[in-house]
Structure 1
């Protein structure tokens, strides 16, 4: 069984690039890699998930999981694909209907020929099923995380006991933001109860209200910075899931889904170099 929390060492030989929700836009991804002169021998790409659906080439995006330089976390569209392909995995009423996947851009699966179907089911789906909920990279001040939507606690009935043990002086709040220490000490079974927040949640994103945020020019473009850009104890956390016209920073979460599949003047596939953006962000 693959870990739900994957850990990677710091990249001391090259650069780490974080890519937003690709949604089948493999052509846009190739363009972005060319712009930064990506070197697969020393550079890495870490995806916030949602590799598939809506765009023109979901299968090519999934093939990236075969590359040693490419890493990804599980997105809600990967969850829908797995539940569509493996009905026995369906654990909630929302995922019982195949239409949920097909109507959210998953109809590309039905258009695959026999060769594509074989590749998907025997080569690619096992790689998708092995994706973690969160990836943590490095240690200390250089540490960062990647998650699809947000790092929040999950079902209070299932994980309150664990978090209550972490502090005898503070009553745990069911939907509180996780910290580095939480991630380091959280058992896999408890982490599994938080998948709804990590894959589907939008509470942290919505808390960064544009009307109460400051728009600044960053090395990666226009950035909305909330009144509380950093959460105590949580390293920089890259997230996607909710498309927006600007990057957004709130509670240590940097949201970079720019709605690539829309392919209009206000959207793009965001590719950030961690080594460039992180030092700049720490100065905020």
Structure 2
């Protein structure tokens, strides 16, 4: 459900918005920041798959050292299709790429990846602790373990109502799920999904910079 990461004292921690199969965009962004796989860590807000050209390659990022992702609603739709035979929602939301693969093999590869993809992260930084979930956190981070999966993976209530309330018991939270033209902050929640599948853009930013921005306000 929740995994915590101690502060990275040897390199930088980065968080990336929804990739949706756009592995090349990630490579370009990592090159721009001179990402060092030996020292730096990469965190994803989920939705690694669907709509882009390299879904499986993006999904298997979680097997690379220093790469971590929370579960997104698209991974959950894939799980519901491959394990429970609920295909309609996934196929109508970008999951058609799955049809080129053997279903048993793809199911196994998804299962292996999702075993490494909890619903939430806590990342310690020099400026405080940053939470990461896919869609929306609870109003009190202390309630994260009892917050519904529906909220964490699907909700857009905060951004649809421009809710500026601060999430308690966490310094900052980073989410994706809802495409925004530019990164947006509501309270202490940072939205970083730039809609890669229609904009051709992703947001890659240092987690420490987000924490510093929130704690300085």
The alpha carbon displacement at 1:133 in A equals 0.7
The alpha carbon displacement at 1:123 in A equals 3.5
Matches within 5 A, 1:7-46: 7-46=4-43
Map of 1:101 onto structure 2: 90
TM-score of the superposed pair, with normalisation by structure 1: 0.71
Match of 1:206 among 160, 166, 181: 160
The alpha carbon displacement at 1:119 in A equals 5.0
Map of 2:99 onto structure 1: 110
Secondary structure of residue in 1 paired with 2:216: coil
Match of 1:244 among 180, 185, 191: 180
1:282 partnered with 2:211: no
Q: Could you report, residue by residue, the CA deviation over 1:106-130 in whole angstroms, capped at 9, with x for unpaired residues?
A: 0100023x5xx56533344322244
Q: 1:146 to 1:257 in 2, by over 3 A?
A: same
Q: Could you report, residue by residue, the CA deviation over 1:138-187 in whole angstroms, capped at 9, with x for unpaired residues?
A: 279521110001112xxxxxxxxxxxxxxxxxxxxxxxx123x334xx4x
Match of 2:143 among 182, 188, 202: 182
Map of 1:120 onto structure 2: 106
| Aligned-partner Cα distance in 2 for 1:70–1:243 | 23
Map of 2:204 onto structure 1: 271
> Do the aligned residues in 1 keep the contact of 2:135 with 2:152 (CA within 8 Å)?
yes
| Aligned-partner Cα distance in 2 for 1:13–1:123 | 31
Q: 1:241 to 1:232 in 2, by over 3 A?
A: same
TM-score of the superposed pair, with normalisation by structure 2: 0.91
1:149 partnered with 2:103: no
The alpha carbon displacement at 1:232 in A equals 4.0
Q: Which of the two has higher C-alpha Rg?
A: 1
| Aligned-partner Cα distance in 1 for 2:26–2:104 | 25
> Do the aligned residues in 2 keep the contact of 1:136 with 1:145 (CA within 8 Å)?
yes
Q: Could you report, residue by residue, the CA deviation over 1:14-47 in whole angstroms, capped at 9, with x for unpaired residues?
A: 1110000000000100000000000011100110
| Aligned-partner Cα distance in 1 for 2:56–2:18 | 15
Root-mean-square deviation over aligned CA pairs = 2.1
Q: Which runs of 5+ in 1 are unaligned?
A: 88-95, 153-176, 210-227
> Do the aligned residues in 2 keep the contact of 1:208 with 1:249 (CA within 8 Å)?
no
Secondary structure of residue in 2 paired with 1:45: strand
Secondary structure of residue in 2 paired with 1:238: strand
Residue correspondences, number: 217
The alpha carbon displacement at 1:252 in A equals 1.6
> Do the aligned residues in 1 keep the contact of 2:121 with 2:131 (CA within 8 Å)?
yes
The alpha carbon displacement at 1:12 in A equals 1.1
1:195 partnered with 2:192: no
